């Protein structure tokens, strides 16, 4: 959730760290800080609010000189947003040296550790669990920062990604991880540590990814030790917290700087909504064999037989990915004819789930680092399930913990409110369902028909995107209303709850999504004159039922905004506003019907004057429980 950046190399560190924090702003945060180490000691600066406040502090205060440092954007867990609670946190060693540390995650046993350290004379200035870790490293420091970090981490329980510096070793960063992402970029005579590749891509595409319980020591300093930017020597090594050496493979990042720039758009969310035709093309590229009429998923080839014989599929996810998983549940049962269930990962892992032989667990996550989803996947694996991953971030933790999987390949998603990743997740789950369906029950002709329609999706999505101005005008008429309903049936029920989530996330309007039939069982009491109710009412098996639900809302004075199929002239009799999508097979409709709801939410947030890409209280990747 929070953001970590560290730099050691021949360039002044402060400006590079601030630049890196700006690239991580989309992750969500409430305060920021940095620490720079040099021959003069460690200089720490912190601020509440945006990174720009910290940037101004660095410029006006001065003294942030040096070629090595760490920085952080904090999303409050332990303690309110404040300067004392902001990172970096520091500790004083027995020999009088200063340790500075930034941390993502939660230290579960921080209370007994805090008492232990207080009894040894350490004075705490914050309410955070992180300060405990900083002072623990200081307590065990004996002239070797790497060993101090290893020793301290053997005493903690919980999750962490940390980067640590010490004024006694002014050209060294020690970083480590367990359960929270951390990567190291290898640049020209320099290293960049970050919790997200976005902070690294401007400097290098060569990275190493740490695994759990691994520690990396990064040294890049002037050979004459003056720290003046002269001839620099670089060195890194990777160990476990038990000081066992490990080799890490250097890999290449799959995206470039241009993909994480706005490129003329006002917001990243709008850019990513508009990128969806190309995102779908990239997701489908190389995965459809027209000659044989089949789906090609190389990531599943090694376990195809096990998947065909599987008796049950469990999809685990959170948030938007959970809604994609619900569609996946429908797809697997409809196209592959195999029992499937989508579960909130946070609930699944704590309720002693029954995993029978022949169970496949699919973890769906944009980042591949979602803490609850990763934990649910681990739980399922330990109970004997085959583990699959559907993720966007190559090399992420979930992708490394699964038996097999499929990447989305939709490109980096910066906007906190997920859009193109959702469409990519649904596309991949559709491919998996067809991949299995052809091998179980579906005829070649049926599979070929679906594949032909799948390949038309990018152009069809482009047609839907052309309605952006029309959707904005319709939203203007009801933007003052604070309560909305989103209703759908069948495949479009998950689309309805995804639409409601989008509106909540960025416009702060209260919205509920539910099956259209559920409205009569209580929520209909909420409907009064002018209340906006959004229906997904495309042509399909339950079309007439949805029309009846629309009439029930209109009879009570509600304002109906309807996503309908192109050419459906009758729908105008029931709708105050209509957004159309091209006709397509029912299992493929969600990748079209969700588009107007994304646009609706975007315009609602802009009309209400909110920061679309940095909605309050939210983080892009939720890496704590």
Residues annotated catalytic, as ranges: 2, 620
Residue 182 phi, psi (nearest 5): -160, 130
C-alpha 391/C-alpha 408 separation (Å) is 6
C-alpha 477/C-alpha 33 separation (Å) is 43
Residue with tokens 């970096």: 88
Q: Edge-to-edge strands of the sheet including 404-407?
A: 340-344, 312-317, 359-365, 386-391, 404-407
Sequence-separated (6 or more) residues with CB below 8 Å from residue 226: 39
Q: Is 594 exposed, middle or buried (0-12, 13-18, 19+ CB in 10 A)?
A: buried
Residue 237 phi, psi (nearest 5): -145, 150
**Which residue blocks in 241-295 are alpha helix, DSSP H?**
268-274, 276-284
C-alpha 303/C-alpha 334 separation (Å) is 22
Tokens of 63: 């003294």
Going by C-alpha positions, the residue among 299, 269, 594 that lies closest to residue 418 is: 269
Q: What is the CA radius of gyration of the chain?
A: 26
C-alpha 28/C-alpha 418 separation (Å) is 13
Concatenate the DSSP letters of all residues of 492-536 into one string. Answer: HHHHHHHHHHHHHHHH--EEEEEEGGGGGGTGGGG--TT-EEEEE
Q: Are 124 and 118 in contact (CB under 8 A)?
A: yes
Neighbours of 216 (CB within 10 A): 25
Q: Are 316 and 377 in contact (CB under 8 A)?
A: yes
**Which residue blocks in 127-192 are alpha helix, DSSP H?**
130-140, 145-153
């Amino acid at each position: 959730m929070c953001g970590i950046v560290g730099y050691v190399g021949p360039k002044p560190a402060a400006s590079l760290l601030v630049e890196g924090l700006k690239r991580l702003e989309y992750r969500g945060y409430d305060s920021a800080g940095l620490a720079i180490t040099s021959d003069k000691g460690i200089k720490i600066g912190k601020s509440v609010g945006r990174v720009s406040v910290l940037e101004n502090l660095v410029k006006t205060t001065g003294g942030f000189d040096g070629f090595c440092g760490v920085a952080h954007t904090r999303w409050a867990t332990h303690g309110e947003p404040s300067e004392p609670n902001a990172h970096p946190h520091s500790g004083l060693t027995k020999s009088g040296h200063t340790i500075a540390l930034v941390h993502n995650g939660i230290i579960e046993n921080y209370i007994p550790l805090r008492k232990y350290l207080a009894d040894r004379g350490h004075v705490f200035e914050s309410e955070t669990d992180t300060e405990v870790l900083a002072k623990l490293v200081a307590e065990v420091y004996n002239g070797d920062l790497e060993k101090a970090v290893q020793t301290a981490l053997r005493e903690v329980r919980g999750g962490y990604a940390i980067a640590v510096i010490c004024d006694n070793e002014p050209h060294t960063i020690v970083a480590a991880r367990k359960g929270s992402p951390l990567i190291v970029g290898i640049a020209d005579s320099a290293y960049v540590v970050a919790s997200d590749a976005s902070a690294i891509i401007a400097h290098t595409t060569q990275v190493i990814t740490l695994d759990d319980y691994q520690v990396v020591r990064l040294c890049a300093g002037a050979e004459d030790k003056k720290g003046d930017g002269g001839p620099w020597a670089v060195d890194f090594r990777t160990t476990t917290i038990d000081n066992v050496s490990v080799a890490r493979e250097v890999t290449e990042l799959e995206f470039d700087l241009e993909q994480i720039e706005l490129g003329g758009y006002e917001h990243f969310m709008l850019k990513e909504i508009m990128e969806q035709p190309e995102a779908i093309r990239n997701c489908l590229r190389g995965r459809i064999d027209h000659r044989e009429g089949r789906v090609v998923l190389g990531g599943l080839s090694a376990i195809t037989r096990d998947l065909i014989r599987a008796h049950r599929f469990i999809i685990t996810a959170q948030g938007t990915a959970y809604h994609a998983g619900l569609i996946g549940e429908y797809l697997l049962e409809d196209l592959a004819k195999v029992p499937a269930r989508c579960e909130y990962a946070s609930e699944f892992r704590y309720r002693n789930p029954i995993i029978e032989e022949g169970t496949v667990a699919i973890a769906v996550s944009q980042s591949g680092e979602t803490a609850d989803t990763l934990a649910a996947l681990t739980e399922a694996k330990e109970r004997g399930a085959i583990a699959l991953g559907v993720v966007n971030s190559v090399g992420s933790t979930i992708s490394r913990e699964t038996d097999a999987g499929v990447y989305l390949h939709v490109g980096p998603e910066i906007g906190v409110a997920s859009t193109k990743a959702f469409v990519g997740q649904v596309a991949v789950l559709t491919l998996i369902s067809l991949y299995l369906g052809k091998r179980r029950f579906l005829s070649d002709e049926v599979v070929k028909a679906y594949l032909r329609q799948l390949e038309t999706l990018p152009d069809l999505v482009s047609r839907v995107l052309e309605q952006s101005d029309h959707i904005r005008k319709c939203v203007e008429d009801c933007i003052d209303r604070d309560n909305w309903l989103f209703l759908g049936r069948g495949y479009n029920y998950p689309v309805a709850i995804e639409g409601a989530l989008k509106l909540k996330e960025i416009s702060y309007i209260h919205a509920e999504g539910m099956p259209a039939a559920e409205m009569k069982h209580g929520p209909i009491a909420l409907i009064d004159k002018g209340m906006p109710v959004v229906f997904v009412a495309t042509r399909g098996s339950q079309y007439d039922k949805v029309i009846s639900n629309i009439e029930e809302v209109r009879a009570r004075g509600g304002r109906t905004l309807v996503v309908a199929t192109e050419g459906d002239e009758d729908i105008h009799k029931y709708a105050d506003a209509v957004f159309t999508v091209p006709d397509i097979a029912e299992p493929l409709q969600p990748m079209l019907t969700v588009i107007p709801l994304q646009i609706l939410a975007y315009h609602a947030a802009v009309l209400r004057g909110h920061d679309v890409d940095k909605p309050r209280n939210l983080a892009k990747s939720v890496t704590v429980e």
